[in-house]
Every structure is written in structure tokens, then in C-alpha cells.
Structure 1
Amino acid sequence: MLLGFKTELKLNNSERTGLAKHAGVARHAWNWGLNLTKQILDHNRDNPEDKIKFPTAIDLHKWLVTMVKPECPWYYEVSKCAPQYALRQLSDAWKQAFKKVRKPPRFKKKGRADSFTVDGSLSVDHFRVKVPVIGWLKTFERLPTGYQPKSFTISRKADRWFISWKIEVEPTNEPKTHAVVGVDLGVKALATLSTGEGFEGAKSYRQYEKKLSRLQWLNRHKEYGSANWKKAQIKIARLHRKIANIRKDTLHKLTTYLAKNHSRIGIEDLNVSGMLANHKLAKAIADMGFYEFRRQLEYKCQLYGATLIVVDRWTPSTKTCSRCHAKKDSMPLSERVFRCENCGLEIERDFNASINLEIAAS
């Protein structure tokens, strides 16, 4: 199976400038293509009798070469792959928007999620990678070798640059210590297992919320684009990166433990976007990372030979007694203990839900 591999680059100032140029060209091509496609859509909406065919990625690239490159000679300072992949990704984004899978693409802003993709003459050595135009770039860690990657994606987070590509990994089928487990996700505790184990969430945003607020407050009156403003922006971006990394680290440890030690894992099909609509709990839910938990668990179950069972979201796992299966009419969040009126069972609500998920996954 294919897995993404990502590592940080060890760069000098010249290499940072080269990567920034590539990201800038990719961003310019994306914004130019997005502006053009929006004009075509507006024209087709206002003139239904004289519609223009919506361009493909190949059409956009041909127009870019004819219309943009002669006026923007700095396009020739970077690899031709950067604008090509940007237009290809724009075309894919519009396809998803037309299918109602995602919202329409938006314009990109400098310094926010800068990235680009290249292919061609790529190489991977023990502590370095070869990128077109720029050449060899050092890394901080030893890289997996023995294969030829098809493309590199280079991105910037705060003041650091990262490179990623896909590698072929053979799935393993290790012996498991537990046959079936139910996992109930929550806000108070990240995960409660039917085995009785509980895992606390990192709650990294809550931990650094005051510090983040302080940095943003100090930055409020700095002149936009000044040196002090740029320094403050980097500090804020570094803190955001730290918050995200702490959350991801907690989720990686939990999902790896579940996939390595359990044959069948039962989780609930949570409507995360609907849960985030609750303004009272949205911050706490986003801080836990429910969507990222499921994404990681799905591919790690394939990697370690486990089976993931996703229980229907309408299954009343919280309101059902795990002993006699009697169902309650309501179970508000303030009730932390499940008390069954039928058999008299008293049990912690998340633990009760995890047992019901284990039964559903059996």
C-alpha cells in the first residue's frame, strides 16, 4: 500500500529563496486560473445561449503559456511543473465543487499554506533529495531509499520547509492481544475503550490559547508588511504549528496502539461537521481532532491487519444499556453516569457506549 512520507528540509538562504519562488509561481498560476474560470462561469450564467466550454487543466496550461508567461518572465526561473500542478489541482478542485463534494476553490494568499509540486528528474539519497532547478536539498533525518518517487510536494509551515512523497509499504499482520474493542470518542476524554482503558486528549489549543491570544493582541497595531509585523506573524505561525503537532502526536500514538493490538475496532460514524455547528462545544471538539482520528485509524488498520467497523451514527450507543439492552428516551451531556431503570446497572456513560460499540463490531 502507498503511504505518505514527510520530512523537514535543512536549507540555506539561497535554497529558501528558490523554494519561495516556486511556491509564488504556483500560487500566481492558481489565482490566475481561478480568476479566469470564475469569469467563464459568470459569462455562462449570464449568457446561457452563448456558453463557453469550461476549460480543462490542459486548456488552462496552454492559455497560461500563451497569455501569462510572456508578460511574467520570472516564470522561467522555476520548474515548469510548479504552475502545471497548480492548474491540475485547480481543475480537480472545480470537479469536486461541481459534484457538491467540497466548496468552490478560493484565492490563495502569500504566506498561508505555501506549497508546490514537482516531478521529473527526482532522486532520493540517504540524507538529501534532488529537486528540478534547485538541485540537491539536505534533510535532518535518514530517508527511505531503493525506489523512484513520481513527484515531490514541498510546503511551508511558519518558517520551516517540508517535503513529502508516497512510498510503497508492505502491510503486516501482527498477532493481536485483543479480538474486539469498542472506542467511544468524547470531549472530556478523547477515547474510552470497552476494555476499561481511557485516553485523555492533548487539548493543546486550550493549553496555549492564552499565549496565542496574547501574541495576536500584541500584533494588532503593527504596520502591515513591516519587519516587526513579519516577526510577529512567524511567532504566531510557530505556535499554531506546535498546537497542531501536539494534537497529531497524541492521535498517532492512540491510533497505532489500537491498530496494532486489536483485531476488530468499532467506532461510531460521527457527524463532525454537524457537531462543530454547536457553538458551545465546537472549540473543544475541534481541539480533539475527531476527523483526523478516523483518517489515521483507517489507513493504520490496513497497515497492521486490523478491521475497522464503523457503526451507523443513528445507533443509540449512549442511550442503550450494555447489560440488558434497554433503551432510554434521552441522555443529556450533563448525565455522566448511565443508570438503567430496567436492570439497575450504573456505569460511566462513555464506558457504556464503548461496550455497545464493541457488541456492534463483534
Structure 2
Amino acid sequence: MNKAFMKSERRTPEKIAIFLPSRIGDSILSLPAAICLEQLNRKYNSNLKLTVYSKPFLVKLLSALNLFSCKGVTLSEKFKSLICPPDRAFFIETTNANFGFRAKTTYGTENPYKKFLKFTHQPVFHRMSFAPFQETWDEIRASLPEELVTFLLDEIGLSYYSAALFGITLELGFTAEQIIETFKFSPDIIPLDNFSEIPFSDEKGYYVFCAEAGYGRKHLNERCWDIDKYFEIADKIHADTGAKMVFTGVNREIMLPDKDYIVDMRGTLNLYQLACLMKNAKGYIGNDTGPLHVANLMRTPSVAAYFQEIHMAGFGPIFASLNKKVLRPQNVEEMLAKVPN
């Protein structure tokens, strides 16, 4: 008998904890596997109780999606795990922020630079977060059923990173056939009713730009296109549409052009407010970074500049049809041609 069906005979639910990465984009890329697990749980009555844990700044956004139970990685949650640990915990990223959380069985990638973090199992499907390279994906792909990989990449349109995490569903006893028959995924599966704040509005609409890339206070210049090129795009779109151009991010060191149609909202929004801003935008234009994935989650069409092939295939947004990719753009026209109307 399949393990997924055997679980339905348990008197008490099997508690499953999934710990999302600390980066915004990687956390959103982790959602398809968690959504699939909930769909499988309902279909097969497998008696799993899923809780998704994230950095506290992500909790409001994820909770507003109403897809699964979401909690922050806090001292109180770590204390609770000492008294009543989940049956299994999947740590997608190896980070000191998760130190102190206990589970009966743990899955993760041990990192020589984080010696205190040990795991019961070290599955290959967690390694993209630690080693985001083509050879890592090749190793993960070889460990997964080929029919499942083909389905996730070609039919659903997921990135390598998102597809790799379906190893969690396999580890919990579901088969590739069950996943393929059950998993339904499209932009309209994400409920957006709870994203009701209006951080900005204009009668002619607006586009959102993010001309930086990074996480926390770390800026990744190698993933950034020339900001002056984005200013040129903003000028051309405004001339054609009259729409406002809203710049987001956290770095306010670079001066924006002093023009009435350019709006500086850098460093002023929390993540939930950023999602609300994206929800009502005409489109996103910018680098391959966290706000791109937030726009995609909010069903907003986007065009993004990429600078490595592995980032395009390995970490592209979860709704590929809404994202136009430009690899190492050479001029403004390349990006402008793909800007959503």
C-alpha cells in the first residue's frame, strides 16, 4: 500500500513543517511544492498537518494568500517545538535563524560554515539553495522521476529550483503519478482578495521599477542593469501612456531624476504593502530580484533583465507566462519591446 494512503489510517495527523528560505524570491519559488502538498493531502485524505515557517517579515504576505498555515520563525515557536515537535521538518535553506527548532526527523543540507545545524537526512533536492549551479540541478534531476520533471518544467513551467522541491512530496510517500494527476497550478489559483491596501494610485495607472538586486543589506551589482537605462525606459513609457513610474527597493543612495512622473517609494514599504502596490500596477520592469517575484505572485506582467542562464532557467518566477526574460540586454529597445501594455 502506498505510504500516502497509509497515513490516512493514523489516529492523529502527521505534523509537517516546511521552513522557507530567507530570501524573498526563493521563498516564493518554494510555494508550488507546498501548494501541491496541500492538494495531495486533500485528495488522498493523507492526514498531514502542514505548517509553513518563514522569516517574520514574510508572514503577513504569505498568510494573506490563505493557502496554508504560516508562522514566523520566532523564539516562541522554537520553544513550542521543544515541547511538541513536528514529526518531520524540511529546512529548504541552512540558516542560523532556524537554530533551536526541533523536530523528530529533519531534512536539510549541512553547511561547514554552520556547524551547529545538523539534520537527520540530507536529501539532494535541498541543494539548489546552497549551490545554485547547473551541475547541482543535473544531480537533482537524476534523482527525480523523469516524467515528473518533464511535467513540472514543460507543462507547468516551473524553474529548476521550484521543481527540485517536489522531492518533499515524494519523500512524504506520494508518487509521481499522483502528483501529476493532482497538481493544478495557474495564476488564478492564488487568491488576492486580502491585498487591499492602496500604497499608490494614479488615474492613468503606473508601472513599478526595481533597479537593484540583492537581499538584506547585500547588493548584487553583477545582477543589475545600468540604472540610466531604466530611466530611459521610464521616459519612453510615460511619453506613450502618461502613466507614473514608481521605483521600489531599499537603496536610496542613487538619486532619481527630478520629474513629476517618477515616484520614489524605495525604503518606504513593507513586503505586504509592496505586494499591494504590485497587484494594481500595469507592469513590472527591472532586475531579477525579490520584487520581480512579488509582482509575479500578484499576477502582474513583468519584463526582467537576467545576466546568467542559470538564473533564467533555475530561478525564474513561478508563473512563467507572466514574465518576459531578456538575457544581458544590450540596449533599451530590447527591454522596451517586451514591456506589458
The two structures have a TM-score, normalised by structure 1, of 0.27
Structure-2-length-normalised TM-score: 0.28
Q: Which has the larger radius of gyration?
A: 1
